[in-house]
Structure 1
Amino acid sequence: MSQESDATGGVERGVNAGKAAIFDLDGTLLDSMGIWREIDRRFFGRRHIEMPADYAAHVASMQTGAIAQYTVERFNLQESAQDLVDEWNDDAQLLYAIAVSPKPHAVSYLRSLRESGARLAVATSLPPRLREAALGHAQMKDYFDHVCSVDDAHSKGKEEPDIYLLAASRLGIEPSHCTVFEDLLIAVKSAHRAGMKAWAMYDESSASDWDAITREADGAIRDFAQAPQLL
């Protein structure tokens, strides 16, 4: 069972966190929930459709193409799934380039890991133009040795451990010496299936799963000032 950090930044330090760290972007390193709310608001507003209360939670763990297909079918839209993906990406590229913010103390934590000699990677579902815009705006780009996507891993998404194993391989670090940081329950479980430690970052988008996430994860934080030192 994990130990959630206290509000003052104290954290259980007895975890052998490894020699490499692999980070999710949306909801973990990046406080991007507001951006996707705005994208949803624009999308449904253009179509004069009231966004259902359960929509965001239902699509939270899906990949973009699957979300688009689900949306077309649920709302009986006379558009292709690719049309929706293109529209969302156009809105997202603008917003990620000008509005996305790092989670508290994320940049200073990345800096401290680099200074310690740890190897760092991103494991994300975001397409290249969005992750590049986000990392640039958040001033994180230069901290990472590799950026990996679910497409690189040829997997359906983070319900499979492939992306984490790919990141470890590219970093040249054994999976057992890697620590993954994620905000979704399904991703924390996949990191464990990859043989890695998994620390959970709180995000409002997965708040309903937070108790389950903290039970599954090796540690849980709400601010990167509470994150572990890699041993």
Structure 2
Amino acid sequence: MKAVIFDLDGTLVDSMWVWEEIDKEFLRNLNIDPSVFNNEELGGMSFTETALYFKNKFNLTHSVDEIKITWNKMGATIYTEKVEIKPFVREFLKFLKQHNIKMGIASSNSRELVELILDRFEIIDYFDCIKVSCEVERGKPFPFIYMETAKELGVLPEECLVFEDIPDGVMAGKNAGMTVWAIRDRQSEKLVKELKTIADKWILDYDEARQIIIKEILC
């Protein structure tokens, strides 16, 4: 293992709940009943793909860029005031750094919000590379974001360990030829059985991940 690549939302920070709130508020502001929309339909779509999906599904006159700007403004407030970092993240990043393991971010979120939350928790300097799905051909479960992140880190896919929290993300890493560990997130509790089936491991938190790496990889 030469590199570890992290998804962001639901993986490093407890933020998957944010987008259900934003989506519903966004629709209410347009006088659209939010009950007609199921957030789970979005899977691992990129920020741009999601905006295009909303535009087409609800016949919006807004451009894709206008939708993204609105979401970034709405998200910035919540990410600044309410989103929390997940347990043992800082300790785990420090542990990887001490063992000279490269680190990258591969997120479906916007770059603006990714950098905002990493700056807020003062962990952005741990990462050698930050990629978002809008910068590649297709979002998750397609492998492109993980392949590009590995390329930028200067490692082979088979040398990467990925952390994800939803099935589309896990499959993106697997489709890229990487080892993928699914981490517990309260928003994906009902997906645990599926995650345990498709991921190489399912873990509770980053303290457990650290212990496994010490015993199975660094020994």
- 1: CA distance, partners of 2:53 / 2:27: 14
Match of 2:73 in 1: 90
Q: Comparing 204-213 with 56-65, which one deviates more in the overlay?
A: 204-213
Q: Deviations over 1:138-196 (max 9, x none)?
A: 221111111122244x2211222222122222222222221001112122122122221
- Mapped contact 1:60–1:205 kept (Cα < 8 A): no
Q: How many pairs were matched up?
A: 213
Residue 14 of structure 1 is matched in structure 2 by none
| Structure 1: runs of 5+ lacking an equivalent | 1-17
Gaps of at least 5 residues in structure 2 are none
**Matching residue of 2:131:** 148
In the superposition, the TM-score normalised over structure 1's length comes to 0.82
Question: Which residue matches 2:102?
Answer: 119
Instruction: Name 2:160's counterpart in structure 1.
Output: 178
TM-score, normalising length: structure 2: 0.86
Query: Are 1:134 and 2:117 counterparts?
Result: yes
**Matching of residues 153-164 of structure 1 within 5 Å:** 154-164=136-146
CA contact (8 A) 2:47 2:134 kept: no
Check the 8 A contact 2:133/2:139 in 1, yes or no.
yes
Partner in structure 2 of residue 100 of structure 1: 83
Q: CA RMSD in A?
A: 2.1
The match for 1:193 among 153, 175, 185 is: 175
Q: Quote the Cα distance in structure 2 between the aligned partners of 1:182 and 1:94.
A: 24
Once the two structures are TM-superposed, the CA of residue 126 in structure 1 deviates from its matched residue by: 2.2
Identify which of structures 1 and 2 has the higher relative contact order when contacts are C-alpha pairs closer than 8 Å and 6+ apart. 1
| Whole-Å separation in 1 of the counterparts to 2:191 and 2:49 | 21
| Identity level (%) | 33
In the other structure, the counterpart of 2:10 is: 27
Do the aligned partners of 1:24 and 1:181 also contact (CA within 8 Å) in 2?
yes
Determine whether 1:109 maps to 2:109. Answer: no
CA distance in 1, matches of 2:99, 2:53: 44
**CA 1:67 to 1:194, structure 2 compared with 1: closer, same or farther past 3 Å?**
closer
1:226 aligns with 2:208: yes
Where is the helix percentage greater, Structure 1 or Structure 2? 2
Contact 2:46/2:133 (<8 A) preserved: no
Task: Note the C-alpha offset of 1:54.
Answer: 5.1
Q: Indicate the SS of the match to 1:120.
A: strand
Cα-to-partner distance string for 1:80-117 (whole Å, 9 max, x where unaligned): 33322221111112322333211111121111111122
Number of the residue aligned with 1:4: none
